[in-house]
Structures are given as structure tokens and as C-alpha cells.
Amino acid sequence: MSQTIRVFVNAGAVDLPSGADVGAAVRAFDPALERQVASGTAFVTDGRGIEIDTESPLAGGAILRVIVRARRSEGADADA
């Protein structure tokens, strides 16, 4: 029997095989979010709010948040 770990992505629990990385957790939670992270339109932070790489290994109980970057058109007024 393989050992699993439970991690939390955007407050949702995800069970993964031991040794899984951040990318696997995001992919298991929501494949669309994983594609956004891969394309650079989103990024992942740890429970402290520090951005982490998708290849970082996880430990059981890890808390991850996926942040989608706000996109503005080139002509948008930043003060609007």
C-alpha cells in the first residue's frame, strides 16, 4: 500500500501520493488552475503567502493558494 499525504489547495483537501509536488496538488485540485499556473497567469503561494515553485516537494498538511494575476489591457488607466 502506498502512503498518501493530504494537502490543502484554496481551502480544498487533496490526497496525493507521498513525494508529490506543488504542481501535482494544483492539478488534482483543478486542472484549469494548473494550466493557468503553467502559462504564468497564476502563481502558487504557501501558507505564509510566499510564492513557491510548482516543482517544490510537499509534506502532509501543506497549505497552498493559487492566485490568478489581474490582467489589464494596455490602455487601461491604473487609477481608474
Q: What is the pTM of this model?
A: 0.83
Looking at residue 1, its pLDDT comes to 47
First to last CA, the chain: 56
Instruction: Report pLDDT digits (tens) over 40-79.
Output: 999 999 999 999 999 999 999 999 999 999 876 565 555 6
List domains and CATH numbers for the chain: 4-68 (3.10.20.90)
Distance of CA 77 to the CA centre of its chain: 30
Which DSSP category does 41 fall into? S
Alpha-carbon radius of gyration of the chain? 15
